[in-house]
Amino acid sequence: MKSSAYYKTKRVTLNLLIHLFLISVAISCLFPLLWMVGSSLKTQQTIFSDLSLVPKQMHWENYYLAWKEGGFGRYFLNSIFYTVSVVIGIVIVSSLAAFAFSRFEFRGKNAIFYMFMAAMMIPIPGSFIPLYVLLNKLHLRNTQLGYILCMINVGLSTSIFLLKTFFDKTPRELEDAARIDGCSKLGIWWHVALPLAKPVLAVVVVFNALAVWNEYILALIIFDSRHLMPLQVALTTFQGEFITQYPLLMAGLTIAAIPIILVYLAMQKYIIKGVTVGAIVG
Amino acid sequence: MKRLFCYFVIGLLGYWVIGLIGCAPKQTSKSGTTIMVWHWMTDRQNAFFELAKRYEAKTGVRVNFELYAPSDAYTQKVRAACQGNNLPDLFGILGEKRDFASFIKASHIADLTDYMLENNSSWKNVFFAKALEVNIFPEGNSYGIKPGIYGVPIDIMTIQMLYNKDLFKQLGLNPQQPPQTWEEFLNIGKKIKEARLQGMVSGWGELWMADCFANNYAFNLMGREKVLATIKGKIPYTDPDWIRVFSLVKEMQDAGVLYNGIVTMVNKTAEQLFANSKAVFAFNGSWCVNVYKGMNPDLNYAAILPPKVSEKHPMMIWGGAGSSFMVNAKSKNKEEAIKFLSWFTDKEQQAYLAKETNNLPANKESLANIPEILAQFAKAMDSTTHPSTWGISEFPAVIEAFDKGIQSIIIAEKTPQQVAQEVQKIKERELAKKR
Amino acid sequence: MKIKSSLENYLFIMPALLIFSIFYIYPFLKVFQLSLYEWDGILPTKIFVGLGNFKEVFFGDKIWWQSMLNASWITVIALTFQNALAFLLALACDREIRMKNFYRVIFFIPPVLSEVVVGLVWQWILDGNYGILNSWLVKLGSPQLVRNWLSDPQTALNCVAIVHSWKGFGWGFLIFLAGLQTIPRELYEAGRVDGANAWQMFKSITLPLMIPVTVLVAILTILGTMQAFVLIIAMTGGGPAYHTQVPVLRILASMRGSSRFGYACAQGISFGLVLVTISFIQYRFSQRAKA
């Protein structure tokens, strides 16, 4: 019989190792972030010669300059608008479709689902040009609606795939109960399926928010009018053809990273709460 | 929580509707004419805005400079717009002469020859000949374009070798006596290795810079005629002169005169390294003056021609127009756009642009009062050539094999002979395809 | 009644299908059409070559297959190293330990960072002359390991793969964590009551229930990593020579460098076909494993 001291030491050592592991990975993740913030406080002359993480002289005005020179105000709002619109759009469209693929039976279900999956697997790097011509014909070029619809399409397949996988795993008892109570299919979707899928919906939100927030080439090609551009395009102002204004670029990138981190912070709460299985038992 | 969400959605929809309604591009100016210019030159946006303001004050015509950076994204946007027939009044074409020719054949570019030759070629003559050459399709060009002038240069540049005077002193060399010959250059490598410094930096990870360097030495070794004959397919790349060109790369690597890691270096990194005195030499273009000034105004350096390896032919460097603007042939404001371009490239405007952006003007008369280091670049204009002026282009697959071959030599994976053979094989494959 | 029910079913997928048809299927067909031509992307005239471009991709383009191999190697590293790391971290964070929330946020920073920053920082760390890694190796007493990490043909690809995995593990971590969270705690309680130790519970409860999620992550990893290119441009430019060249870079080179738009489309479609094949084999494999 092993003594309880043995078990205690084992547990303590295990915890210590786990913590060491977590901390070392965490440091490697934090380092570039700190470097980015530290660089944003340096000057163009010291950014590569001063190797310290925390510069002696902190040039906080870089943030103000970056905001002004990059015209961040307008572009920031645009990016938020596009991201929110696309995320809401994808959540609704893809969860409807994923729910249907998972729960319903209808002709051509598998074929259509496989088509969506295939789309996820066949990227079209050259598709900008046909997309541009198409948008032109539909009079959607240089419009917010056109960009939003394009971006919804970009994340559609993956989101449907993610949601269907999780719907398949979710037990149906709650839904059966709701159906017996006379709830319509749409009602089941809204009142039962969606709330249960909160964790994976959170993943979908983060995934698509990040994709739209960081996107810039499609925006650059579709939009001609400067005042419709998203934030990423403004950032290219600092990445000149010849001169890259590194401190301002870093300040701009830091500002750009904040909203996404906030979105993640908000969403990860749902991933933690997870399924409240108590609903089925109690 | 749900109510908040609903309000948010309603607010969003409201914003959206307003956005859609107020979405018509507000571009028409008071006088009714607006000229749309698309460009990629982030560093010049402010100078462009200022000049546009001056023009509007003078003529009432508004000029809209729209910036789309970086240059890769700009190229894609221009090509997409070309498909949708949405090109602006003025824009630049980045890339090979071949692509320029395609744009002309697709009827997107206006022929400016007549405008240039008006009044005894008054417009044409303000430019450095070499700057204009890049925009000219000569008689008998292999692209099948009607001979003429199709673009307007707005600055000039040359690509040369630079050396750090302070590091020279540290190595025990005379900073006023840069290497003139290949042997002198290689010998410095020994000193660099001993002093544990690093040699030449350049964006050879970006291929075209390595191509430029090798091409310079090709001109020096075998002369312009033979180089062009090789492109035309009359002389193989396995010719001893070409093998010598490839061997030069190996000699540099062995002598220790290249920066360790130059094969994957992008030009921005090269600039940052040289500016911070981490490299003794650099191979870069005249735009670097502005970059270095921003990162290290005290940098003590000078520009020279690459050290000659042969006396038989002159050393030629790449130079000519830095950036150029073309006129959209289908533009409704063609005449106004051309008038603007003519004003834009006039002496005063060019001098302003050059001063603001520390670049060399394309207008001959605007050259007074440039900083010493820029003058060194300008001096070398006579020794310049440029692929866009040769009237013929090499196959892209061959260029890629050539440049990647140079990288392979540096990392000691292939010998100069092997690279020469591979390049020639690809050349023959491409020639066969063409037939 | 039956018809109404059927129609309702289709209504659910209608929005997705509509958007998909317009914004994916149409451009896809167009790209397929363009791949049958030799076109430089600018001229109004195209030359019809039928399947000639495809023949060239499959049989004549050595560099294309080299780039496929490179991308596959990076993907293998991602599937093993990156996902193992993500899984272990998710397991660690699933327990009741201190600083759980802190870790959950930190691990998601790499995916959020822009590729520009990641490229710059890692270039700096891995630089052959002034990099941090090399100076640490010297300090720790192993100067013989010092090398030019990103320019040395033997280490360039692996370095790129590792940096890629570092940037990507946050996603796997997130999805694994979400998966672990949906395993009912009651199962573990029951297991503990039955006297099972940690390893047994892991083997019989955690692993089997995590298989669908693992497959999901694997598929997403393969798709995402095979298409990687921005980081590679930032760190090595695809070099030295062709050692870190990947398929998307080749497609971009065809589009812009060689101005062969039709060929680029053919490359793109061939690439898609390879990805579809790999993914379907894996999907079927996992379906069979589940049953």
- Give tens-digit pLDDT for B253-265: 999 999 988 998 8
* pLDDT at res. C291: 60
- Contacts with A72 (C-beta within 8 Å, 6 or more apart), sequence order: A66, A231, A234, A252, A255
- Nearest-angstrom CA–CA distance, B267 and B247: 23
- Nearest-angstrom CA–CA distance, C40 and B101: 11
**Residues 306-345 (B) with a CB less than 8 A from some CB of C:** none
Q: Is B330 helix (H, G, I), strand (E, B) or coil?
A: coil
- Nearest-angstrom CA–CA distance, A243 and B271: 9
* pLDDT at res. C124: 81
Query: Hey, where are the domains in chain A?
Result: 76-274
**Residue C36 domain-assigned (yes or no):** no
pTM, to two decimals: 0.86
- Nearest-angstrom CA–CA distance, B312 and B310: 6
Determine the distance from the C-alpha atom of residue A232 to the mean position of all C-alpha atoms in its chain, rounded to a whole number. Answer: 15
Closest residue in C to B397 (Cα) is C258
Max CA-CA distance within chain A? 79
Secondary structure letter of residue B375 according to DSSP? H
Residue B272 to residue A48, Cβ atoms within 8 A: yes
For residue A274, the distance in angstroms to the closest alpha carbon of chain C comes to: 6
CATH number of the domain residue C102 falls in:
1.10.3720.10
Percent pLDDT > 90 in chain B is: 62
Q: Is C255 helix (H, G, I), strand (E, B) or coil?
A: helix
Closest residue in A to B45 (Cα) is A237
- B251-268 core/surface letters (b: 16 or more CB in 10 A; e: else): bbbebbbbbbbbbbbbbb
Nearest to B154 by CA among B324, B38, B286, B337: B324
* pLDDT at res. B250: 95
- Nearest-angstrom CA–CA distance, C149 and C157: 9
Residue-by-residue pLDDT tens, chain C, 291 positions: 667 777 888 888 899 999 999 999 999 998 999 999 998 888 888 899 989 999 999 998 889 999 999 999 999 999 999 999 999 888 888 776 667 778 888 888 898 888 778 888 888 888 877 788 888 888 888 888 888 888 888 889 999 999 999 998 988 888 888 778 777 778 888 888 888 787 888 888 888 888 878 888 888 888 888 888 888 888 888 778 889 999 988 988 888 888 888 899 999 889 988 888 888 788 787 777 766
A208 against A2, higher pLDDT: A208
Chain C neighbors (3+ CB pairs < 8 Å): A, B
Q: Are A48 and B276 in contact (CB under 8 A)?
A: yes
Provide DSSP, A180-244.
Answer: HTT--HHHHIIIIIHHHTHHHHHHHHHHHHHHHHH--HHHHHH--SGGG--HHHHHGGGB-SS-B
* pLDDT at res. B422: 95
- Nearest-angstrom CA–CA distance, B432 and B395: 12
Best residue of A11, A20, A22, A23 to probe chain C, by most C CBs closer than 10 Å = A22
The topology under which CATH files domain B32-154+322-387 is D-Maltodextrin-Binding Protein; domain 2 (3.40.190)
Q: Does A5 touch chain C (CB under 8 A)?
A: no
**Residue C238 domain-assigned (yes or no):** yes
Q: How confident is the model at residue B12 (pLDDT cuts 50, 70, 90)?
A: low
**Token pair recorded at residue C124:** 């700096």
**Token pair recorded at residue B263:** 């094969």
**Alpha helices for C52-184 (secondary structure H):** 52-55, 62-77, 83-94, 100-106, 109-112, 115-126, 132-139, 156-181
The single-letter code of the amino acid at B176 is: Q
Work out the average pLDDT over A201-229: 87
Tallying the residues shown for chain B, one arrives at 435
Number of domains in chain C: 1
**Residues 206-235 (B) with a CB less than 8 A from some CB of C:** 206-207
**Alpha helices for B365-415 (secondary structure H):** 372-379, 396-410
Q: Please, which residues bridge with residue B35 across strands?
A: B63
Q: Taking 90 as the threshold, does the pLDDT of residue A32 lie above it?
A: no
Measured distance between the N- and C-terminal CA atoms of chain C, rounded to whole angstroms: 35
* pLDDT at res. A2: 65
Q: Are strands B324-327 and B90-91 parallel, antiparallel or unpaired?
A: antiparallel
Mean pLDDT of the residues in chain B: 89
Q: Does B105 touch chain C (CB under 8 A)?
A: yes
Residue with tokens 């050290």: B307
Q: Is B28 helix (H, G, I), strand (E, B) or coil?
A: coil
Work out the average pLDDT over B424-432: 93
Q: Does A46 touch chain B (CB under 8 A)?
A: no
- Contacts with C284 (C-beta within 8 Å, 6 or more apart), sequence order: none
**Token pair recorded at residue B392:** 């013929």
- Nearest-angstrom CA–CA distance, A230 and A212: 9
**Token pair recorded at residue C249:** 């870079």
* pLDDT at res. B24: 41
CATH 3.40.190.10 in chain B: give the residue spans.
32-154+322-387, 158-318+394-434
Contacts of C112 in chain A (CB under 8 A): 210, 257, 260-261, 264
- Nearest-angstrom CA–CA distance, B288 and B270: 10
Q: Does C235 touch chain B (CB under 8 A)?
A: yes
- Among C17, C102, C107, the residue with its CB nearest the CB of A25 is C107
For residue B55, the distance in angstroms to the closest alpha carbon of chain A comes to: 21
Q: Does A153 touch chain C (CB under 8 A)?
A: yes
Evaluate whether the domain defined by B158-318+394-434 bears CATH number 3.40.190.10.
Answer: yes
**Residue C223 domain-assigned (yes or no):** yes
**Token pair recorded at residue A44:** 């163009």
Closest residue in A to C283 (Cα) is A117
Q: Does B269 touch chain A (CB under 8 A)?
A: no
- Nearest-angstrom CA–CA distance, A94 and C189: 35
Contacts of A47 in chain B (CB under 8 A): 295
* pLDDT at res. C290: 63
Residue A97 to residue C182, Cβ atoms within 8 A: no
* pLDDT at res. C228: 82
Q: How confident is the model at residue A79 (pLDDT cuts 50, 70, 90)?
A: very high
Cα-atom radius of gyration of chain C, to the nearest Å? 24
Q: Are C175 and C104 in contact (CB under 8 A)?
A: no
* pLDDT at res. B378: 86
CATH of A76-274, one of 3.30.565.10, 1.10.3720.10, 3.40.50.2020, 3.30.499.10: 1.10.3720.10
Q: What are phi and psi for residue A4, nearest 5 degrees?
A: -70, -25
Q: Does C156 touch chain B (CB under 8 A)?
A: yes
**Residues 86-105 (B) with a CB less than 8 A from some CB of A:** 86
